[in-house]
Amino acid sequence: MKRLGWIAVIATLVWLEPAHATCANGFTIYVSGQVPDITFRGGVPQTIRFNPWYASFNSNSFSCGIFARVTTPGVSVQQTYGCPGSGCPVIPPGEWAAVGDAYSGPINAVFHKDTDIPLIFDGSAPAGAQGILEIAVRDNDLGIPSQVVVATGNVYVESATPPLTSFLVGSTAANIAGYRVLLDHPWLNGNPGQNLFVAHLRNPGGSIFGTSWNHPLAVEYDPFAGRWAIRNSDGVAMPAGLAFQVRVDPSAQLYCTSGFPGNYAEILVLHPAANGNIFASVLVTPIAGGPHPVAVRYLAPYWRILYSDGATIPQSTCFNVQVFAFTQYLDDPASGDLSGKANTAANWGTGVDMGGFGTGHQSGASRSLMFDWGLENPYRQMMLTYNATPMGFTAAYDPRSFGFTAPNPFGLGGRWTVYHEDGTTMPLNARFNLWATCAGPVWYPDGDHDGAGVGVEGVASCAPLAGYAARNGDCDDGDGAVYPGAPEINDGQDNQCPGDVGYGQVDEVGGLAVFTDAITFCWSAQTGAGSYQVARSSARSFSGCSTLVSTAETCASDATVPAIRQVLHYLVRAQAPYAGSWGVNSGGAERLLICP
């Protein structure tokens, strides 16, 4: 896996032009939030669309054009700008497609453009292929192909059940190796060039119980085991019973101090989405390194990585870094800024918590996160990095280890919290870059709102989309009672789809039918059924049968004692308002019973 990035230290400061998208009429545009992971199924052609959030500003700079490309084999980008919709060319992998202008849209706002960006997979790549989606802006209108990448995402080709890119791992006797927890993941094993992020979770699943862990964390690759590991940077033995959130992200980048002997105060993040951009959110996980908490700060024109306790960074120390050009900002002290609490309902999954002011926002060692994308969902995977200068405002350094607490019934408003692992009180002006990682669910048009969509084209989005469903395969998108895996109800039609158990039978009674005692035969109720018919036969084929009872109940009594070596068999079906199927025989044929 190729690892992108620039290596720099504070001693090698070089001026670069700020890398953001602007146009001649004074319009600056950033890609806002994260680009969702996009996963295709190996060998299956498909189109997946997505529409990034954009944030716009007044500006005196100059630039035009939004472009996209994908490096994953077999995945192309369809051009959507400067051509008729159906006649727009499909640009092959690795080449730039024009997907929008950089000047239309509202100013000083956060918005979607009218046109999605289509990614088209031709089915040629096998499961396991990976690549990067890049979104860029052209920094001139002279016809010079100079794209500045301002957002990246991951595009995978995988099997029907792809491995998770964000997951929770617990420390156990089986995976602990001294001060480390060894990870077992197909995209990590044997891949020393992979990028990953980690955070400690105090209470997995939102449990009311939890364990703090006041030790700085990092990751490292074990070449002998061929595994990545989460490590305690202070060398303390890793105990069983801890929980860690992990994000695998090939689109992230690697930044290191110089290999020359010496210690360094900071590492420059020379990233085109961050250069000259005080609004950027920079997320960091150390690779090995010393036992020190990590922070980021902005000193124009660059963001920098440093140890928040003032320690210097040794030579050849590296960090995995992900940059988001613009995110949500909570408790923003800047009057008139784009961000603020009013924008937190947009589910971008990235944000900067600016301060601890506000009712219910802070309690002792914990900071409650007021972003709606973290509300009442204890199974999200969250990452954080301390931000000493969000939007240029200075915060005191808080040289401690931080962890997350997932929402629980007794938490602060059902929200995620960040807390001091050592239990000390959180400063009111502590500020964090936050990332609720998005594994990129694909949404499909769902006209009947039954939770199953249709079509070969999906839309990748971190947030639920109105009128869309997160699964595909509805066999009747005009009827909300018919979808894959639907329960059979008494409505005179087959509610299942091809491949489902019960497909081809109408109004059959599902679930278990059992004797609850020696004479009482019971079955599962069917929604809509007003009465049931029970048939009995001494032949398994029901070649001869009798109607035992018709009843509005879901149980019937039969005190008949079978003869020696005789077995009595029972079937049940809905009788009203619609007479249902008796089911199928052992050969799969519909049972057509006539029972007196």
Pairing of strands 457-460, 46-50: parallel
pTM attached to this predicted model? 0.84
CB atoms within 10 A of CB 568: 15
Do residues 184 and 196 touch, judged by C-beta distance below 8 A?
no
Do residues 592 and 519 touch, judged by C-beta distance below 8 A?
no
Residue 35 inside a domain? The answer is yes
Candidates 343, 350, 232, 336; CA nearest to 291 is 232
Do residues 181 and 244 touch, judged by C-beta distance below 8 A?
yes
Residue 303 inside a domain? The answer is no
Residue 174 inside a domain? The answer is no
| 527-553 average pLDDT score | 92
Residue 478 inside a domain? The answer is no
Q: Quick one: DSSP state of residue 341?
A: G
What pLDDT sits at residue 308?
A: 95
Query: CA torsion angle for 188, 190, 193, 199 (degrees, to 10)?
Result: 30
**Residue numbers of the domain that contains 40:** 16-158
What pLDDT sits at residue 359?
A: 47
> And the tokens for 212?
């703090």
Pairwise pLDDT comparison (149 vs 28), residue with the higher score: 149
Residue 391 DSSP SS3 = helix
Across 125-129, 330-334, 419-423, 521-525, least confident range: 330-334
| 483-496 average pLDDT score | 95
Domain boundary among 135, 158, 181: 158
Length of the chain as a residue count: 596
CA dist., res. 65 & res. 102, Å (int) = 5
Helices (runs of H) and strands (runs of E) counted in the chain: 0, 45
Residue 67 has pLDDT above 60, yes or no: yes
| 225-249 average pLDDT score | 97
Residue 254 inside a domain? The answer is no
Residue 12 has pLDDT above 50, yes or no: no
Percent residues over pLDDT 90 in the chain: 60
Candidates 170, 146, 132, 173; CA nearest to 38 is 132
The pLDDT tens digits of the residues spanning 497-513 come to 999 988 999 999 988 89
Across 14-18, 261-265, 284-288, 426-430, least confident range: 14-18
Residue 14 has pLDDT above 50, yes or no: no
Query: CA torsion angle for 161, 163, 164, 170 (degrees, to 10)?
Result: 120
Tell me how many domains the chain contains. Answer: 2
What pLDDT sits at residue 347?
A: 56
Residues whose CB is less than 8 angstroms from the CB of residue 325 and which lie 6 or more positions away in sequence, other chains included? 20, 30, 31, 32, 55, 150, 151, 273, 274, 277, 279, 280
What pLDDT sits at residue 364?
A: 82
Q: Alpha carbon 142 to chain centroid distance?
A: 39
Average pLDDT, the chain: 86
Percent residues over pLDDT 70 in the chain: 87
pLDDT band at 393 (very low <50, low <70, confident <90, very high): confident
Residue 592 inside a domain? The answer is no
Domain boundary among 106, 124, 158: 158
Distances (CA, A) of 516 to 510, 538, 556: 17, 20, 10
Residues whose CB is less than 8 angstroms from the CB of residue 362 and which lie 6 or more positions away in sequence, other chains included? 356, 368, 426, 428
The pLDDT tens digits of the residues spanning 446-487 come to 999 999 999 888 999 888 888 999 889 999 999 999 999 999
| 240-244 average pLDDT score | 98
> And the tokens for 134?
């890049």
Domain boundary among 158, 183, 217: 158
Q: Quick one: DSSP state of residue 343?
A: G
The pLDDT tens digits of the residues spanning 289-311 come to 999 999 999 999 999 999 999 99
CA dist., res. 578 & res. 492, Å (int) = 6
Q: What backbone phi and psi angles, to 5 degrees, belong to 254?
A: -110, 130
Q: Residue 79 maps to which CATH number? A: 2.60.40
Residues whose CB is less than 8 angstroms from the CB of residue 501 and which lie 6 or more positions away in sequence, other chains included? none
Q: What backbone phi and psi angles, to 5 degrees, belong to 343?
A: -95, 5
Do residues 253 and 5 touch, judged by C-beta distance below 8 A?
yes
| 433-443 average pLDDT score | 87
Residue 299 inside a domain? The answer is no
Residue 458 inside a domain? The answer is no
Q: Quick one: DSSP state of residue 528?
A: T
Any alpha helices (H) in 376-531, and if so which ranges? none
> And the tokens for 543?
């070649």
Q: Residue type for 586, please?
A: S
